[in-house]
Chains A and B, each alone.
Chain A
């Protein structure tokens, strides 16, 4: 629980949006947080699909979550399962896949299913920020 709750207390003055990062590696969550905070995003974290589902169903996240960044290979509920859940239950939240394994078939099938981007680690900060910015635009369009 503590993983994502910390996000609630991080009220950045200039908040460009709230991003949930789902990855089992704390190092990856740390670096994504660092990268996105520089662009004024508020970042909350979950270590697997199960925690991510818990996080999105908690408090103001239901309304205020803007973008989801999700790894694939994770324990408990893996990325594929978690993404299917999010696409069904939270269709307006754009999803970016951030994975260590470049798999063309998987990338194609995700992109067809509506995932906004399929990024393969290691991804440069600028590229990640651009992907999130594009996802934010999509989020805003969805809210119109």
Chain B
């Protein structure tokens, strides 16, 4: 068993406990050994189960075992602190009262900042969509205008019918653009976790990335596994994929191949990867790519928040990102998602 420097027990699984859980479980060298709440329907308990964190029925069981060395009391109940002090093992520290309230405020502040950064990156991205959107809207408009002008004089009824149908199709195509974009631009709803089909999400992201980057000289290869679905926030995953696809296409200078792949392993592990045959990432940049504000793109082209946000979303989902890259050959970003449902394993007899 890996022994972590800080082994935390969280008491209270309301809003505060849930937020702490979400934040702390992303930090290396910190292990949340368990969480407890007298209310079995508290939201933090469900979240803990999703993250494979122990849910204890009794405070005593939690804080006296598992090598807990820090107890965080976010119940807000005045009676809890003395109780913890009576029950805890010697040497374990307790954070409660005003200290946890301050911590809770910091966590709230941090999550607000993250949401702002996420939105800022998306909106900055939308700016670069202008050329693509104009192209995709004005082309059908040209068709509609041309056909409508012709219809004013057209005598042949068959042609009239055909061109009216063409106009209807062109209008439908144009309205699909607006639907995709408004879905992409909206603020993410908090806690909207549902089953998300990764194949559909990758397709949707590809449609949106087309506005930011020209895909005309890029061959797109899709290798989708059936039923590649994960539990997550659909808007956040869409943004993750738009980011990875945009980066991949920008890495391809001239002609190249973009490969979108999903896999479902025999153990139920689901993965999604975006690969390009582009310029690759130099070894010395590897450690920096997920840092906020790190970018190699020219001014005005990249915010340096893209991969940082990708990492935040995936860490929050308890997922894992692997990057493989060779300069001049290409790059693969592979995201491994945690198992959603326990798999039924068939042991050989």
Binding site for B on A (CB under 8 A): 24-25, 27-28, 30-32, 34-35, 73-76, 100-103, 120-125
Chain B residues, CB < 8 A from A32: 146
Chain B residues, CB < 8 A from A75: 216-217
Tell me whether A120 and B138 are in contact (CB under 8 A).
Answer: yes
Bound CA span A28–B142, Å: 7
Chain B residues, CB < 8 A from A35: 146, 149-150
Contact A27-B140, Cβ < 8 Å, known A73-B214, A74-B216, A100-B134:
yes
Quick one: which of A24, A30, A76, A100 contacts B138, CB cutoff 8 A? A100
Nearest CB in chain A: distance from B178 CB, A = 16
Tell me whether A28 and B143 are in contact (CB under 8 A).
Answer: yes
Tell me whether A121 and B131 are in contact (CB under 8 A).
Answer: no
Nearest CB in chain A: distance from B42 CB, A = 53
The interface size of chain B toward A, counting residues with CB under 8 Å, comes to: 23
Chain A residues, CB < 8 A from B56: none
Bound CA span A122–B138, Å: 6
Bound CA span A25–B134, Å: 14
Question: In the complex, what residue of chain A is closest to B145 when comparing beta carbons?
Answer: A122
Question: In the complex, what residue of chain B is closest to A27 when comparing beta carbons?
Answer: B143
B134, B136, B147: residue with the most chain A Cβ atoms closer than 10 Å: B134
Tell me whether B135 and A27 are in contact (CB under 8 A).
Answer: no
Nearest CB in chain B: distance from A118 CB, A = 14
Interface of A is mostly: loop
Q: Is B144's beta carbon under 8 Å from chain A? A: yes
Tell me whether A24 and B131 are in contact (CB under 8 A).
Answer: no
Nearest CB in chain A: distance from B193 CB, A = 38
Contact A31-B143, Cβ < 8 Å, known A100-B134, A101-B134, A122-B138:
yes
Chain B residues, CB < 8 A from A28: 139, 142-143
Nearest CB in chain B: distance from A92 CB, A = 28
Chain A residues, CB < 8 A from B146: 31-32, 34-35, 122, 125
Contact A34-B150, Cβ < 8 Å, known A73-B131, A101-B135, A122-B145:
yes
Q: Is B24's beta carbon under 8 Å from chain A? A: no
Cross-chain pairs A/B with CB under 8 angstroms, 8 sampled: A28-B142, A30-B143, A35-B146, A73-B131, A101-B138, A102-B134, A124-B149, A125-B145
Q: List 10 tightest A-B contacts by C-beta distance, closest first.
A: A31-B146, A75-B216, A100-B138, A122-B141, A100-B135, A121-B142, A121-B138, A122-B145, A122-B142, A101-B134
Chain B residues, CB < 8 A from A73: 131, 135, 214, 216
Q: Is B170's beta carbon under 8 Å from chain A? A: yes
* B67-104 contact mask (Cβ, 8 Å, vs A): 1 or 0: 00000000000000000000000000000000000000
Quick one: which of A76, A102, A103, A124 contacts B145, CB cutoff 8 A? A124
A35-B149, A101-B131, A122-B145 known, 4 other contacts, Cβ within 8 Å: A27-B140, A103-B131, A122-B138, A122-B142
Nearest CB in chain A: distance from B29 CB, A = 50
Nearest CB in chain A: distance from B174 CB, A = 11
Question: In the complex, what residue of chain B is closest to A103 when comparing beta carbons?
Answer: B131
Nearest CB in chain A: distance from B68 CB, A = 60
Chain B residues, CB < 8 A from A124: 145, 149
Bound CA span A120–B142, Å: 9
Q: Which B residues between 112 and 156 are near A, CB-CB below 8 angstroms?
A: 130-131, 134-147, 149-150
Chain B residues, CB < 8 A from A30: 143
